[in-house]
Every structure is written in C-alpha cells, then in structure tokens.
C-alpha cells in the first residue's frame, strides 16, 4: 500500500543496525494486518491490534501514540485508519485541531463540526444499553454519574466532597426518572430544585441539599448557559449518520478554550454511548477505532483523566480499539494529582494500552519515559534522535523500530504543514 522510499531508510546496513540496536531482536508480529512501513531491522512492519488481541499477544487492542510536535503522530493514525478500512473496520475520531477533514473527504463523509451556539448538539448523557454480565445492571447510570462527577471535578479544579457527590447522584436519578436519556440542563435543574423526597433520603433538609449541590450546579451550568452552551446541553441532534465508515467530531472551534479537555470528554462520552448501542453489529464491521487526537487535553485534567481510564476498561467488551495521541510520556501525569495518584493513573492507562508507539521525545522526558514504558538503556538513548516518521513500537513485550511509509495519495491526506505554507 505504501510506496517504496526514495531515500535510504537508515544510514547503516541491516546487519550493522542489528548490532547497533540489539534490543530489536524481534521477528515481527506476523503478516496479518496492514503494512505500517519498514521494520528498520529489515522487512515490512505489519500490525493489527484486534488480531494480536485475538492471538493473546496483547491483553487489549488499545494504543497510545507519543511524540514531539510534527513528528508524524497524526499522519500515522490517519493512514492507519485509512488502511484498516480494507478490513471493513470503522473509525470514530475526536479531532480538536480540525485536521481530519481531508481524510473524511476521501471517505466521502463530512466531519460533525461542534461550536458554541452551533446547529449540532450531542448529549453526553445519552443512554446505551446496560452492559451484559455481573456488572451489567445499572451500568448506564454508573457511567453517567462517573462522567458528571468527572466534569464537575474538572470544572471545580478539585475532587468532589461526599455531600456534593450525593447531591449530584440524587439529581441524576431525578432527571432520569423523567426521561431515559437525561440531559445536563435537566441535572443542573434537579440540583437547583431538589425534592423533599431526595432530601429525606439523605436525612437532610431541602435547603441543605440545595447548598450541597450548588457549586456543582453552577460549574455544570457553564455547559448550559455559559460560554460553552449549545453543544452538549440538550438531546442529540437527530439524523447524524453513525453508519459511515468514518465519523469525525471536529472541535477545532474550541481548540483554544480552557475547557477543551472537558469538551473532549463530553464528545468521547457521547461516542462511547453511541458505540455501546452499535455493539451488536456482527463481524469485523463491528470493530471500531476510537481515536482521541491531542488527548493530553483530557489527561491534563485529573477528573476527566480518571473517567477516560474507566471508559477504556469498559470498551474492551465493545470491540473497540482506543487510540490516544499525546505529546510527551509525562502527559500521562495529570495536573493536580498527588504523586502516587499520578503514577497510578499513568500506569493504569498504560496497562490498558499495550501498544505504545513512541516518536521522538526530548532528553528531558527520558527518565519518565524509561520508567513508565520500561525502556532499555539503548531504547532510551535512541528516543531523542528519532527523525520524523520513525517510532519505537512497544507491542506487549516486543520492541520494533519502524519507519512509517506514506503513499503519494496519503501524503495529501496527512499534510498538516499546509497551514505553515509549505504545501
């Protein structure tokens, strides 16, 4: 699929490369999947997370892509999705920079553009069916509660107090009793007008319950009446085509917003609920890539980072491969978390994403990267020197050095230098 290179892939022969980088002693991941490019030890590098998951090589099909600005992270993701379409796999993308438009056009679809006061609304509290199994009953309500408390926690910049959580839970229950898919405004309303029954269930007074939930209500209100209104504050706009091979949520109108992480979490939550409703599609057509580009914005926020981690766990049952794109390995450390909490979150997310694609990292990142990704000394030394398009792939226990190759046609689809005037 990719074209042969016009420049040598590396300055040394394969034999010398093997000696220079002895850590790359792997024999490849098999031939089932799409060609990513050249294994710099020789041969093509072929990869398929669902196949590797089925074979037990990895314990989940999720991926994290790290890399400094302009190293080719998004280019890799775009071509990967494009090549995976051969297998009938679909892709849903949260696109904070509005750069997946060309890819969508190649697929004949239009991105769903979200902007304050725009014409499209997505309800992040849309209900999917409850999960099957032991944890199934009540799982939709739990997911909604987790999202709301994460959003509130992110907006408040601190963890919720027990009484705030309780008030929020009661408000969600009140809003749900009125409709199957509650909305954020309905929850805010219920927080600001608690019922005698709700107060009675906590053995507290009406006024006290109102006070307990007031700060949470005022913060969530920003999504409803404030600068962020008109995107996630009502029932989902009917008629959105989710059967398309590619669904792109374009959030570029919000890229500079301080609430970008919160808004990306809302968009991702909506996609997750929609996916759980679509999970019954049989065969490979039911397998979906859910990409969050620029995912550092979600992870920089402790509340929504926690939510993202729990939603990754749930998605395994749905035939979803989550793909998160980050700049630095230390992006996994959420601002505001205690040291131990940071480490736990980062380790949790990495445990849930056994494929790590690492483009160049600065020398300052090496300690964290070595620690979290269990890099050998040679691998760590190599990271700052990787040129555009070359990444260290850590797949389960195996390591590869891979040059991502682009076809002429793909080159056009992935060109983000256009905005810099070099197209």
Residues near Mg ion (CB under 5 A) are 73-74
- 71 counts as binding ligand ATP under rule CB under 6 A: yes
Q: What is the DSSP string of 87-140?
A: GT-EEEEEETTS--HHHHHHHT---EE--TT-S----TT---PPPSSTT-TTHH
CA angle 30/34/40 to nearest 5° reads 65
Under the binding rule (CB under 6 A), the answer on residue 362 touching ligand ATP is: no
SS3 49: helix
Nearer to ligand ATP, 256 or 340 (CB): 256
404 binds ligand ATP (CB under 6 A): yes
Q: Is 387 left (phi over 0), alpha (psi -120 to 50) or beta?
A: beta
Cα dist from 73 to 52, 64, 100, 168, 200, whole Å = 21, 10, 13, 39, 53
Distance CA 296, CA 304 (A): 11
Residues between 38 and 67 with contacts to ligand ATP, criterion CB under 6 A: 67
Distance CA 251, CA 267 (A): 9
Q: Does 83 bind ligand ATP (CB under 6 A)?
A: no
Closest contact distance (angstroms) between CB of 34 and ligand ATP is: 14
What is the nearest approach in angstroms of ligand ATP to the Cβ of residue 67? 5
For ligand ATP, the closer CB: 154 or 406: 406
Closest CA to 198 of 215, 219, 177, 217: 177
Q: Which does 52 bind (CB under 5 to 8 A by kind): Mg ion, ligand ATP, none?
A: none
44 binds, among Mg ion, ligand ATP, none (CB under 5 to 8 A by kind): none
Q: Choose from ligand ATP, Mg ion, none: what does 75 bind? Cβ within 5-8 Å by kind.
A: ligand ATP
Q: Which stretch binds ligand ATP (CB under 6 A): 73-81, 128-136, 243-251, 304-312?
A: 73-81
Nearest distance, CB of residue 361 and ligand ATP, angstroms: 12
Stretch that binds ligand ATP, among 69-77, 85-93, 116-124, 246-254 (CB under 6 A): 69-77
Q: Which of 27, 69, 86, 377 binds ligand ATP (CB under 6 A)?
A: 69
| Residue from the set 39, 50, 62, 73 that interacts with ligand ATP by CB under 6 A | 73
Instruction: Sheet containing 355-358: give its strands across.
Output: 44-47, 34-39, 398-404, 390-395, 355-358, 63-66, 320-326, 288-292, 90-95, 246-250, 112-113
Minimum gap (Å) between residue 243 Cβ and ligand ATP: 28
- By CB under 6 A, name the one of 74, 123, 311, 330 that touches ligand ATP: 74
Query: What letters, b where the CB count within 10 A reaches 16 and e where it falls short, cover 300-329?
Result: bbbbbbbbbbebbebbbebbbbbbbbbbbb
Residues 371-390 that bind ligand ATP (CB under 6 A): 388-389
Q: Which of 1, 18, 57, 70 binds ligand ATP (CB under 6 A)?
A: 70
Query: Which residue lies nearer to ligand ATP by CB, 77 or 209?
Result: 77
- Give the residue among 350, 375, 376 at the shortest CA–CA distance from 59: 350
Residue 414: CB minimum distance to ligand ATP, A: 5
User: What is the enclosing helix (H) or strand (E) of 169?
Assistant: helix 162-178
Site for ligand ATP in 327-356 (CB under 6 A): 327
d(CA 114, CA 249) in angstroms, rounded, equals 7
If DSSP codes are grouped into helix, strand and coil, which group holds residue 422? coil
Question: Per CB under 6 A, which of residues 271..330 are in contact with ligand ATP?
Answer: 327
User: Site residues (CB under 6 A) for ligand ATP?
Assistant: 67, 69-75, 327, 388-389, 404, 406, 414-417
């Amino acid at each position: 699929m990719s074209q042969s290179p016009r420049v040598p892939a590396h300055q040394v022969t394969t034999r010398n490369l093997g000696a220079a980088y002895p850590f790359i002693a792997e024999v490849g991941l098999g031939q089932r999947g799409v060609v990513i490019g050249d294994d710099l030890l020789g041969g093509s590098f072929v990869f398929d997370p669902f196949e590797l998951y089925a074979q037990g090589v990895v314990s989940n099909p999720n991926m994290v892509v790290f890399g400094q600005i302009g190293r080719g992270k998004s280019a890799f993701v775009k071509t990967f999705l494009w090549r995976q379409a051969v297998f009938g796999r679909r892709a849903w993308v949260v696109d904070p920079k509005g750069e997946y438009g060309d890819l969508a056009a190649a697929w004949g679809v239009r991105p769903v553009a979200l902007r304050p006061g725009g014409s499209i609304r997505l309800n992040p509290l849309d209900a999917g069916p409850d999960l099957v199994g032991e944890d199934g009953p009540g799982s939709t309500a739990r997911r909604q509660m987790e999202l709301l408390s994460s959003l509130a926690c992110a907006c408040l910049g601190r963890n919720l107090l027990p009484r705030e959580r309780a008030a929020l839970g009661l408000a969600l229950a009140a809003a749900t009793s009125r409709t199957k898919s509650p909305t954020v405004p309905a929850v805010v309303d219920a927080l600001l007008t608690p019922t005698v029954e709700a107060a009675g269930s906590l053995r507290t007074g009406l006024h006290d319950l109102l006070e307990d939930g007031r700060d949470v209500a005022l913060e969530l209100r920003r999504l409803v009446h404030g600068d962020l209104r008109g995107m996630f504050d009502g029932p989902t706009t009917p008629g959105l085509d989710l059967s398309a091979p590619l669904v792109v949520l374009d959030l570029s109108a919000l890229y500079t917003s301080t609430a970008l992480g919160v808004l990306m979490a809302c968009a991702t939550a909506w996609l997750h609920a929609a996916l759980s409703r679509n999970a019954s599609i049989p065969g490979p057509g039911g397998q979906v890539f859910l990409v969050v580009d620029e995912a550092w914005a979600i992870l920089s926020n402790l509340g929504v980072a926690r939510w993202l981690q729990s939603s990754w766990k749930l998605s395994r049952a749905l035939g979803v491969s989550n793909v998160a794109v980050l700049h630095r390995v230390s992006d996994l450390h959420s601002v505001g978390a205690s040291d131990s909490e940071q480490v736990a979150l980062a380790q949790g997310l990495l445990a849930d994403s056994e494929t790590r694609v690492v483009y160049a990292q600065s020398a300052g990142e090496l300690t964290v990267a070595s620690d979290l990704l269990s890099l050998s000394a040679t691998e760590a030394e190599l990271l700052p020197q990787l040129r555009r398009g070359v990444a260290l792939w850590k797949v389960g226990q195996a390591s590869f050095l891979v040059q991502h190759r682009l076809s002429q046609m793909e080159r056009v689809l992935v060109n983000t230098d256009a905005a810099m005037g070099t197209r």
